[in-house]
Amino acid sequence: MLDDLVRKGSADGMTTLARFYLKDGDKGQKRTALDLLEKAVALGDGSAMRTLADVYIAGKETERDFAKAEALLDQAITQGIVAAYRGKAWLFLNMPDPRYDQAMYWMKEAASRGDARAMADVGSIYEQGKGVPADEGEARIWYEKSAELGDSSGARHFGQSLYMGTGGPRDVENGVKWLEKSAASGDTYAMRVLAYGYENGSGLPKDAVKAFEWFQKAADEGDEDAYLEVADRSYDGTGTTADAKKSFAWYFKAAESGSAKAQYCVGLMYERGEGTAQDSREAVHWLKAAAENGYIEAFAELGEMYANDANLPRNDGKSIDYLEKGAAADNATAMILLGIKYEDGDGVVRDYAKAIEWYEAAANKKSADAMYRLGTLYRGADGNLKDFGKALEWLTKAGAYGNAKAQYSLGDMYEYGQGVPIDRSKALSWFMMAAFKQYPEAMNAVGYYYQNGIGTKEDQTIARNWFQKAADAGSAAGALNLAWYYENGKDQDQAIAFQYYKKSAELNSAGGMFALGRFYDDGLGIAVNRQEAIKWYLRAADAGYRRAAYRLAYAYDATFSSDNAAENILLAIQQGDRQITDELKVFSPFTRTALKRSLSRRGLYDGSIDDEIDQPLKSALKSYAGSYGG
C-alpha cells in the first residue's frame, strides 16, 4: 500500500516508507529511504524535513551535517511541526560542543506545545544538570507531566523516580505501577529496571525468576543490554535453567550488535566448546574483535591460546605480543601470565628478574594471585634468589587479600620455621583461614592438627569433620586421612574406610593406592580380591610407594605367580626392606625356587635350584642387599 502511495507521489507515503526502511531495512533500503525523504522534502512535507534532519544529526546513514539539519528543522517549524522543536533541541545537544541553554529553550518550546516526550527530556536535563542546576524535584514534576500524557519514557522516568525516591518521597508501589505501564508500552529500559529490582530485592520481593522474565522480555524487544543479561543468566542458571546453547545464542546476538563483553564471551565459548561446537579459529576471531573493541581481558586469553591451544599452531611471538598488549592496557592477568612465562622459560628465555618485574606490576594492581606467585617464587627458588623474608612478606600480603593458597603456604612456613620461628598455633590459624575458603589441602591440614593435638587441643571428632570436608572437596590426602580414621579411629567402620581409600587412590594418592590394595588383599570392608590388590599395589609402586613391593611379593605368591613374587622380594630388598629376608619360610616352595633362579641369572647364586633356605641363598641375598647399600 505504501508503495502505491509513493508511486502516486504522496509525500506522506514517502516519509512513512522511509521511516520504516530506516528502522528495519537493509543497507540498500536505507539508501532508498534518504532518496524518499529528499523527494518528500522537495514536495514541502514538514514531517519529512524533521525526519531527514534527524538523519543528519545522527550521522549513521549519511555524513553528519548540523547546518543542513538546522535548516530543515527551521523549515519544519515554520509549518508548525511540533516534533521539529524537539528535533532542534537534540541538534544542540548532539553538537561536538553541546549548547545546553539553547537545547533547554527548544525542548521547553516543544513541551509547551504538548510534546509529551519533550517533557520527559526536559526532566532528564534537569536531573542531569546539563546547562541548568541539577534539580531532581523539578525533574520529577516534568516526568509526571509526560507520564500523565501517556509517554512511555515519561512513565519510565517518573516510575523510576518514585521507585528510587529521587526528587521526592519514595513510593515503591506507585513507582512499580508506572514502570510496568512503561514496560507494557515496550520501553525496554523500564523492563530492565524492574528486572534489577526483583533481582536485588530493592523494594521488591527478591525473585530471580521474575527478574529473568523481565530481562527476557526486554531482550525479545531488541534491547541490546538485555541480550547480555539473558546470556549471563542462561549460562549460570540464575532465575532460569542453565542452558549453554541459549546462552551462546544471546551472547552471539549481542556480539553482532557490537558488545565487546559479548564478543569476549563468544570467543570463550568457541574455545571451550560450550553451547556450540569447539572452534579455536572462531574463538580467536571473536577474541580479537573484543580486544579491538577495548575489552582488555581478551588480550590475555589470546596470549594463552597462541601458546597452549592444542587446535592452533603454537606461536610464542603472538602469545607474547598479545600478553604485552594486555599488560600495557593495565590488565593484571596478562602481567601474571608474562611473569609465569619468564619464570618457567615457556616460549622465552627463563628470566627470574623479568618474572618478578611482571608479578610486581600485577601486585601493584592489588592482584592477590600475583602476590602469591611472588611469595612462592622467593620461597622455592634456588641459590641467592631464595628469600624466606620476601616470601613471607608477599604471601602475607596475598593472605590478607584472602588468597587461600597464600594462607595455606603461610601455614606451611610457620609449621616448618621457614624465615620465622616454628609456631604451630600460627600455622593452624593460617590453615584455618584457608580452610574456611574451602581450600581442600588446608581443610586436611586443620584435620591433621586436631587429630594430633598440634597447636590446639586434640579433638578426633573435629578432625574427622575436617577430613570429611577435605575429601568432599577433592583432597586425596583428606580422603586418605578420613579412611585411616575409619580404619583405626574411635568410629571404626572398614566399609567406609574402604570407600575413602578408594577415593584417595582414584585421586592419585600413592598411599591411597597401597591401602586400597591392602584392603582387597586382606578382605577389609570388601571381599578378598587378589587381582584387584595386585593392580593397586602395582599402581602404588609406579607412583613411588616403596612398601608396595613387599605386599606384591605376598600377593603374587598367594596367586601362584612365583616368578613375579620372587622379583618383588628382590625389589623390596633393593628398596631397603630387610624384614622380608627373615620371612622366606612363609613363601611357597615355588617362590623360593624362583628366587634362586633369579639370583642365579644375576650371577649371585650358584647352588642348587630348589626351595631350601640354605646358606648359599642367604649369602646371595646379603650380597644383593649390599649392592644397594644394605
Distance (Å) of CA 554 to CA 457, 478, 547, 585, 628: 41, 29, 12, 12, 22
**How deeply is 262 buried, as exposed, middle or buried, from its count of CB atoms within 10 A (0-12, 13-18, 19+)?**
buried
Higher pLDDT, 59 or 6: 59
Query: Is the pLDDT confidence value at 630 over 60?
Result: no
pTM above 0.85, yes or no: no
- What local confidence, expressed as pLDDT, does residue 90 receive? 94
- What local confidence, expressed as pLDDT, does residue 2 receive? 62
At 146-190, the pLDDT tens digits run: 999 999 999 999 999 999 999 999 999 999 999 999 999 999 999
Instruction: Categorize the per-residue pLDDT at 627 as very low, low, confident or very high, splitting at 50, 70 and 90.
Output: confident
**How many whole angstroms separate alpha carbon 465 and alpha carbon 473?**
12
Closest alpha carbon to 90 in 82, 79, 102, 81: 102
- What local confidence, expressed as pLDDT, does residue 379 receive? 96
DSSP state of 474: T
Closest alpha carbon to 319 in 331, 303, 333, 335: 303
Query: Is the pLDDT confidence value at 6 over 90?
Result: no
Task: Please report how the helices 224-236 and 188-200 are oriented relative to each other, as an axis angle in degrees rounded to 10.
Answer: 30
**How many whole angstroms separate alpha carbon 601 and alpha carbon 596?**
9
At 479-526, the pLDDT tens digits run: 999 999 999 988 899 999 999 999 999 999 999 999 999 999 999 999
**How many whole angstroms separate alpha carbon 560 and alpha carbon 147?**
93
Q: Cβ(588)–Cβ(554) under 8 Å?
A: no
Higher pLDDT, 532 or 489: 532
- Report the b/e string of 447-484 with b at 16+ CB within 10 A: bbbbbeeebbeeebebbbbbbbbbbebebbbbbbbbbb
392 contact partners, CB below 8 Å, separation of at least 6: 375, 410, 413, 418, 419, 420
Q: What is the pLDDT averaged over residues 84-111? A: 94
In this structure, the chain runs to a length of 630
DSSP state of 246: H
Query: Is the pLDDT confidence value at 4 over 90?
Result: no
Closest alpha carbon to 171 in 182, 180, 183, 158: 158
**How many whole angstroms separate alpha carbon 72 and alpha carbon 79?**
11
Mean of per-residue pLDDT scores for the chain: 95
Q: Cβ(146)–Cβ(117) under 8 Å?
A: yes
**How many whole angstroms separate alpha carbon 263 and alpha carbon 333?**
19
Please give the torsion angle defined by the CA atoms of residues 428, 434, 435 and 437, in that order, rounded to the nearest 10 degrees: 150
Closest alpha carbon to 374 in 343, 334, 332, 418: 343
At 390-402, the pLDDT tens digits run: 999 999 999 999 9
- Report the b/e string of 205-223 with b at 16+ CB within 10 A: eeebebbbbbbbbbbeeeb
Query: Is the pLDDT confidence value at 563 over 90?
Result: yes
- What local confidence, expressed as pLDDT, does residue 629 receive? 61
- What local confidence, expressed as pLDDT, does residue 604 receive? 93
Instruction: Categorize the per-residue pLDDT at 249 as very low, low, confident or very high, splitting at 50, 70 and 90.
Output: very high
75 contact partners, CB below 8 Å, separation of at least 6: 46, 49
141 contact partners, CB below 8 Å, separation of at least 6: 123, 167
Residue in the block written with cell 560542543: 97
Please give the torsion angle defined by the CA atoms of residues 561, 566, 567 and 572, in that order, rounded to the nearest 10 degrees: 120
At 102-153, the pLDDT tens digits run: 999 999 999 999 999 999 999 999 999 998 999 999 999 999 999 999 999 9
At 348-374, the pLDDT tens digits run: 999 999 999 999 999 999 999 999 999
- What local confidence, expressed as pLDDT, does residue 5 receive? 67
At 199-224, the pLDDT tens digits run: 999 889 999 999 999 999 999 999 99
Query: Is the pLDDT confidence value at 22 over 90?
Result: no
- What local confidence, expressed as pLDDT, does residue 27 receive? 84
